[in-house]
Structure 1
Amino acid sequence: MATAGEMAARAAQLWSLLDELAESEPQAYRRFLRQQHAEARRLCAPPQPRLCLRARPALRLGVLQGAAGRPLFVNVCGWSRVPAPRAPADPVPVSAGALQEVAEAAELYSIIDVAYNPDVLQRAEENTEKMEHLIRLTLKFVEERCSLTLSCSYNIETFKLKGSLERMQQSLKGKQMPTAPLTHNTRNELTLDQLLHSMEAEDCTRDSVLLEESVQQSKVPLIEEIASTELPEELSTPLYEMLTVKDANKKPLKLELKIKLPEVSSVSECDLSISKDDVIIEVPEKYKLQLDLPALVDEDATTAVFNKGKGVLLITMPVVKPEL
């Protein structure tokens, strides 16, 4: 990695070589300037929203009651400043803002902005499996970066961005690298092409690290890389029974959901996520069940009991009473 002094020396060489090019080949000099202006416009273009994911924190059954967990929105954006991978099998560069907690009216949620090169998103949008793969990599990256445990299930929202466009762009553009001061006392030791290529390579790799390394660093770099991994195998859907318990006036009081999990030996294997209108139960590498609820429920008052002998999980969800 080049030091600030070495980068300043290269910049001085570039200015000197450009002066010589302007005098000896004016047309080539003008072409070079046009190319640089076009590249500058591309790199200075702000990140644009492409996809919004709603992820769910994984809740252990032992701490379910009173710990519903707020949703996490992941804004997936395209940004020209993030380089594309040099080859299809290479790690995918990614840039991310800080995790933010938002209290908006009666809604509490977390939000994080993640950016890829637009070409990466374009290729993923053309293939369902590639998009699923990229989403899984994104959620894994967020888990590692923010020290979270997320449910394997997620929703793709109908809107492309959670929060304002200005907030997202500021979040991603907030980490700018300082510019080294320029000096003019260095000899022309490199050709113009060599110098430009060396500076471009330095700029693209200076702040890139592998995902495993970035989690251990105290200062998060501007651009990181996520390595490709195989997608998880399809999980089986367990047998279940949904019962609505009603009062004397036939109004729903609570929902009881029984789920058969014969291959589960302990509640610690289960991840349960409940919102007002749906429930998700996951057992890594074994089961996955997502259901829309027939009535709105109180997720904070929900209880879950696992019968180890029968391998049955019973979830009791009180129905929210309509306001008068």
Structure 2
Amino acid sequence: DLYSIIDIAYNPDVLQRAEENPEKMEHLIHLTLKFIEERCNLILSPSYNIESFKLKGSLERMQQRLKGRQVPTPCLNQNSNKELTLDQLLHSTEAEDHSNAPVLLKEGSITRSNVHLIEEITSTEVPEELSTPIYEMITVKDANKKPLKIELKVELPKVSSVSECDLRISKDDIIIDVPEKYKLQLDLPELVDEETTTAVFNKGKGVLFITVSVAKP
């Protein structure tokens, strides 16, 4: 059967306390198994046997590990029947992991480009077209059907204050301009006296009422 021998070094005080207390010894063994699973990427059985004999490695190999010298990486394959130490297993695992490690380029091998990565472009956004508000215009006449005044009601639901509105009126037309919201230009059915113009804005309903008298002949 294939097997591996892994060397584990314990603190002498910890090992002595574990030998004196069976529960601590069992806990120490389970911690050791978990450590080997994580470091060597293995799946181990939780069951174990404690043998009466002791295995010791060579003094030369122990001195190499303590002095930090690199131990030759063993070839792990199914035909190998050599005993593997924990240090050898860790070196073999690190060697496999390095195959997927990122490659570090030397500073001289990096070509720096002077081309700007962010290109400035002019805005191609088209300003939103101002909408024409809903309106109603009537001509008020006297009993003889003579025009007296013109009343205009304009719905401006997006307007919160009359200060947003720009009202211009002449003898024959009227212009209502709300920047970025509305624009209305109307020809008046009668010539008017622009000096008599009155405008009232109902903030709650968002409606502008305009009244202007018809010019006298």
TM over 0.5: no
Report TM bin, short chain. Answer: 0.3 to 0.5
Structure with the larger strand share: 1
Q: Which has the larger radius of gyration?
A: 2
Structure with the larger helix share: 1
Q: TM-score, normalised by structure 1?
A: 0.28
Q: TM-score, normalised by structure 2?
A: 0.42
Q: Which has the higher contact order (CA 8 A, sep 6+)?
A: 1
